[in-house]
Structure 1
Amino acid sequence: MTTAVVNPATGGDGGHSAVAARAENVVKAYGEGETRVAALDGVSVDIEQGVFTAIMGPSGSGKSTLMHCLAGLDTVSSGRIWIGGTEITGLKDKRLTKLRRDHVGFIFQAFNLLPTLNAIENITLPMDIAGRKPEQEWLRRVIDTVGLGERLKHRPNQLSGGQQQRVAVARALAARPDIIFGDEPTGNLDSRAGAEVLQFLRRSVDELGQTIVMVTHDPVAAAYANRIIFLADGQIVDEMRDPTADRVLDRMRGFDGQGRTS
């Protein structure tokens, strides 16, 4: 895959969308010598602002590793990573932690809600820890987008799985991060609850201008995205715009023909 040359510091060259995150020639390897395994093998990709991007591929293809490296949760063996205009490769831990806190949101399979706090307290918790007050108008828009207005005083054990994940989505959105990363965010939900959460993620892109990167193995979930990046053996092998579940499934079957599973 060839990638348009975009200046990460300025976010574009006039002919391309601004870039929320970027990987350039990224290698992530484990082990040495004969035992060396490259989870990522020379990956270059731009993540566009205001776009819902899904990352897919067979088990062991490097999709979660790519997301973790883009998000600054894992280091790279070589290559460079930017979040917005800031190169994070080589950043000291304190600066990287601050950048993640101020600019990045996360949604994972496990909802990671505190059982002693109600929904609104869980939503604002990261900002409370950072000593920041939420923007009330933005917070109201987020709560409206995820449809939690009548559940804000409920604790996690009083909410369904889908409602708990909506709280987790709202928590990620509430701090108004530049980019949100989701690692199989609907993996623990039934199909109906999963569809609800995906619709809220889609709305957050369309109505709130959010940038989302989601790792998923599910063609139906991936079809909510604007763009899909396909990985195999640590390399980007394909890309799809405006996907449908059927097109994604057909593409994933191509991996099965090589003896891999999704």
Structure 2
Amino acid sequence: MVDAADGRAAARALGLTKAYGQGDTRVVALDAVDVVIERGRFTAIMGPSGSGKSTLMHCLAGLDTATSGQIWIGDTELTGLGDRQLTRLRRDRVGFVFQAFNLLPTLTAEENITLPADIAGRRTDPAWLRQVVETLGLGDRLRHRPHELSGGQQQRVAVARALAARPELIFADEPTGNLDSRAGAEVLGFLRRSVDELAQTVVMVTHDPAAASYADLVLFLADGRLVDRLDQPTADAVLARMSGFDGPRTS
């Protein structure tokens, strides 16, 4: 494991706790989690339903606030940042790929890809954009609108949008959940290539052992705690680890 203070840590958390409610209704979604996300690697987060995996990703990405503990993206501590500062950090340093493609139907694929930069008033680096588009195989689809694209192509546009701003981190929340197995494999392959060929850092929440097998490392959560890790995973090895976890108590 990379040391928490090492410059190779793209994101990290120390004592990360997230609780909802109070008293008898208090539910602990994350229970004093320590985690380091290594730069330039593909990390998958897995666990039973309700284990806290999506909550962990949302906290690391600055989409949700911690009840206690500390979170960093690079050398910037998120704890204590105001809403405007968090918005700027997410816009400038983080990319997101969600299960729902979240493409604007009136825009072309290219316009959807460059939309975050356009909103921020920044120009997308044309050489980088061309490299992303070529890596994702979207060169002949840039003028198409979402309804003219397959589900797999729409998700590839969403991946390109996340990559286009050249963020430090890409967070993907069940990115293949709405895709068939072939399209899902395509998207996972492109996320893998974005790490290997574009030097990106990807963190993906998934429930699918086959999807997790594309990662360099799988982190396992159960009942809001980090309970195991698996380097160089295979689908069978992930399934075997998952089968040993008891059902969670939270949702």
Point out where structure 2 has 5 or more consecutive residues left out of the alignment.
none
Aligned to 1:30: 20
Correspondence for 2:146 among 156, 172, 181: 156
* Post-superposition CA distance 1:181-211 (Å, at most 9, x none): 0000000000000000000000000000000
* Equivalent pair of 2:52/2:222 in contact (CA under 8 Å): yes
2:107 counterpart SS class: coil
Could you tell me which amino acid in structure 1 is paired with residue 216 of structure 2?
N
Residue 34 (structure 1) shift = 1.6
Q: CA deviation at 1:32?
A: 0.9
From 48, 53, 61, the counterpart of 1:63: 53
The one-letter code sitting in structure 1 at the alignment partner of 2:153 is Q
Q: Which stretch shows the higher mean deviation, 28-37 or 221-230? A: 28-37
Match of 2:184?
Answer: 194
Is residue 115 of structure 2 the alignment partner of residue 125 of structure 1? yes
Structure 2 vs 1, CA of residues 123 and 259 (structure 1 numbering), >3 Å: closer, same or farther? closer
* Structure 1 CA distance for aligned equivalents of residues 86 and 67 of structure 2: 17
Q: Which amino acid aligns with 1:228?
A: V
SS in 2 for 1:6: coil
Which structure 2 residues correspond to residues 133-144 of structure 1 after superposition, within 5 A? 133-144=123-134
Supply the distance in 2 between the matched residues of 1:42 and 1:4 (Cα, whole angstroms). Answer: 19
- CA 259–23 in structure 1, closer or farther in 2 if over 3 Å, else same: closer
Of 88, 93, 101, the residue aligned with 1:111 is 101
Percent identity reads: 71
Q: CA RMSD in A?
A: 1.2
| Paired letter, 2:65 | T
Residue 225 of structure 2 corresponds to 235
Query: For the Cα contact (< 8 Å) 2:50–2:248, is it kept in 1?
Result: no
Determine the C-alpha separation between the residues in 2 that align with 1:32 and 1:107. Answer: 32
Do the aligned partners of residues 49 and 5 (structure 1) sit closer, same or farther apart at CA in structure 2, a change above 3 Å counting? closer
Please name the residue that 1:6 is paired with: 4
Structure 1 stretches of 4+ with a deviation exceeding 2 A read 3-6, 258-261
| Maintained 8 Å contact 2:222/2:248 | no
Measured at CA, do residues 260 and 72 of structure 1 come closer, stay the same or move farther in structure 2, by a change above 3 Å?
A: closer
Query: Per-residue CA shift, 1:205-226, capped at 9, x if unaligned?
Result: 0000000000000000000000
1:260: Cα distance to partner?
Answer: 5.7
TM-score, length basis structure 1: 0.93
CA contact (8 A) 2:2 2:9 kept: no
Q: Structure 1 residue 93: deviation in Å?
A: 0.6
Question: Structure 1 residue 36: deviation in Å?
Answer: 1.0
TM-score normalized by the length of structure 2: 0.97
